[in-house]
Amino acid sequence: MNKLRFRRGFKHWECTYDVEIDFEYTADLEKKITDIIFYQPQNNQKTRVPWDILRKYLEGSVSRPYINESGLKLEMIGEDLHISNSRFFHITVHEDQRKAICIAAKNVKENISSSVERILQESASIPSPSRR
């Protein structure tokens, strides 16, 4: 499963939001996480954050703010990550939530369903028409 839900009121969390881990398969048939999608159901807002940028903030290894041309902003305030965009989207990702997202991303990257693995192996082993 590549989706997490953090509910308002649990622990000290201010809002409910979902986290979806988006990935693709590389040419070597390995999973590569591309983006993390944050979705707030109460106001039907979502924002997509590139994994290469977000990962450093989730791990706590970056302290300076990140802002891109579309208005996406990531900023560490204490132990919490604040994510916002230009369309009134704002969430606070607490330290325990950051850790949970990192664990889920690691699990998504390492896990592959047996049916998908079988299909990928079969398609990789089929000779092209010119080789037949």
Taking only the tens place, the pLDDT of each residue in 70-124 is 999 999 999 899 999 988 899 999 998 999 999 999 888 776 655 566 676 676 6
Residue 1: predicted pLDDT = 45
Phi, psi of 118 (to 5 degrees): -65, -45
Q: Which pTM does this prediction carry? A: 0.79
- Do the beta carbons of residue 26 and residue 43 sit within 8 Å? no
Q: What is the dihedral of CA 79, 85, 87, 92, to 10 degrees?
A: -10
Distance between first and last Cα of the chain: 39
**Mean pLDDT confidence for 29-47:** 90
- Of 30, 27, 5, 1, give the one whose Cα is nearest residue 16: 5
Residue 21: predicted pLDDT = 92
Task: Classify 70 as helix, strand or coil.
Answer: coil
